[in-house]
Amino acid sequence: MNVFRQLKEYYWKEKRLFFISIICLACATALGLVYPNLLRFLIDDVIIAGKYEMVPYLSLLVIVVISIKGTFQFLHGFTGGRLGNRVAYNLRNALYNKLQYLSFQFYDKARTGDLMSRLTADLEAIRHFIGFGMAQIFNVVLMLGFGLAMMFSINWKLSLITMVTMPFLAFTAVRFEGKIHPAFRSIRKSMSDLTTAVQENITGVRTVKSFAREPYEIEKFAARSEDYKGTNIFTSNIWARFFPVMELFANLSIVILLGVGGHFVITEQMSVGELVAFNSLIWYIIGPMWNIGVHINNYTQSKASGERILELLHHYVHVKNVDQAVKLSPEQVKGHVKYENVTFAYPDNSPALYNINLDAPAGSVIGLLGGTGSGKSTFIQLLMRAYSLKDGAITLDGRNINELDLESLRRQIAVVFQETFLFSASIRNNIAYGNRDVPMEKIIKAAQLAKAHDFIMELPEGYDTVVGERGMGLSGGQKQRIAIARALLKDPKILILDDATSAVDMETEHEIQAGFSELMKGRTTFIIAHRISSLRHADEIIVLDKGRIVQRGTHEELLAQPGPYLETYKIQYSDRPEEAGERMLKQRWAN
């Protein structure tokens, strides 16, 4: 029960509903013991004694007992349902809140399908067990206690004899739990893999179709589905092996009861009514023991799900505020950024940056150029504190960013990523995502600066047009311009453009940069780009290669010296770029 002790904070606040549910179930269980006593009274004191006039009164008593028991069962179901749903609500919110504050390091390896499985299937298993499963396990204890007490009150010898098979039944049930729990963990993992496969296929459906990879995706899904089927069949085999054994021991008790109990009646050691009542009572023992597999099933499923939920809830947050972190206000921030001997490697020890030094005064424009894997994205992600920096320091206006409040730091930074993401909402809400309480005039102004206003007004509902999932229905350039408008509206002190104009044509890029030139005034701007045209007006251009700064200077200074910058310039601006590119490749191969 260690899993549920750790989850206690999410359900113990609803303990009133839990105890009401338990009490109602206990009352319903206790009322169930009236039937065996009525049977004994009916046979011994009414039928055998010939007092038939009491039958109507007994019938009325049965109706009253059934009505009261039904009322308690309804209250148990009602309170148990509310308990389960409230606990699911608390856990769901806690999980979602945790996901919001987990660092980039977590999402580098996390799978969307796996996370969705934890928030749906695993959470549902917890909801059902806490709402009803716990009460049912408690009810098993009550039924065993009440049943054994009444059986011993009738005939203690017969009670001991019929209970001889129960230890074997309990031992089998315990072994069953040890086998079934790992099996259910495998089922949960297989379901997570299956969900991930579906999510990735739907997300990348255009890529799948463009490469005609439908057969491959079908085969991949079939393999995941086969694995899920296999784990379920393996679990069913465990059930198939253990359940008949438990049923055997349960029915042996009935055989012993009929044989020994019949002998006791013949020898007048007990009455017929007592034997009939005893037969009803033994099912109060056998019933819970027989269904203990079902309860263990529910328990092990919920335990496996609880472990997966706790794994997420207890996942270490690598990037978080230090004690007494300094909160920034827009009026305090000027935008002076410094990198001092910054060296960084990812958790898997893959190196990213070596001994980076940079002084970017407030309002300056810094360009970053380099090939894939050169460290450009890592450079700006460290400024946003996407990862914890241990070697070296990054300061903002003289303060180490590790000492700043994380939320207030990121509020001063706006980023336009190369891979644009739009929410399934109106264009107005997408642009205003960083600042919900903003007048429409500012939204339009930001869209105009991003050269998005004209195409937005051509849409059926203008700024109220709802874009599809992840911006479907818009071209890559249109989505990127909306993302640029979203960043501009945030009115940041630091602006980061991560290849922000890669999806637009050269003419549109020139128009957007014209808007940027006005916006960049008074803001520190970092521009990551592959096009020289996006960097040529930067105050300083940093050329990265394998995490190291290999060149730095203005556009004119870098053109005056041999190196990667000049080579890139020649490729992009040569009259015959094919030949220039070929020469560059040959030179690199030679080196």
pLDDT for the residue 576: 45
How far apart (Å, rounded) are the C-alpha atoms in residues 185 and 589? Answer: 51
How far apart (Å, rounded) are the C-alpha atoms in residues 353 and 376? Answer: 9
Please give the DSSP secondary-structure letter assigned to residue 53. Answer: G
Kind of pairing between the strands at 391-396 and 399-400: antiparallel
Question: Do the Cβ atoms of 308 and 122 come closer than 8 Å?
Answer: yes
pLDDT for the residue 500: 63
pLDDT tens, residue by residue, 420-431: 778 878 888 888
pTM of the entire predicted model = 0.69
Alpha helices in 163-316 (DSSP H): 166-203, 205-210, 214-266, 272-290, 292-313
How far apart (Å, rounded) are the C-alpha atoms in residues 538 and 553? Answer: 9
Whole-number Cα distances in Å, 519 to 137, 364, 487, 533: 66, 12, 11, 18
Report residue 34 as tokens. Answer: 């009236």
Low-confidence ranges of the chain (pLDDT < 70): 1, 177, 181, 203, 206-207, 210-211, 290-294, 434, 436, 468-473, 500-519, 574-591
How far apart (Å, rounded) are the C-alpha atoms in residues 587 and 584? Answer: 5
Question: Do the Cβ atoms of 290 and 245 come closer than 8 Å?
Answer: no
pLDDT tens, residue by residue, 160-194: 888 887 778 777 777 776 777 678 778 877 887 88
pLDDT for the residue 290: 66
Q: Please state, rounded to an integer, the average pLDDT across all residues of the chain.
A: 81
pLDDT for the residue 13: 85
pLDDT for the residue 206: 65
pLDDT for the residue 235: 84
Question: Do the Cβ atoms of 538 and 365 come closer than 8 Å?
Answer: yes
CB neighbour burial string for 382-411, b if at least 16 within 10 angstroms, e if fewer: bbbbbbebeebebbbbebebbbbebebbbb
pLDDT for the residue 293: 64
What are the structural domains, with CATH classification, of the chain? 2-313 (1.20.1560.10), 326-412+494-502+524-554 (3.40.50.300), 418-491 (3.40.50.300), 561-591 (no CATH)
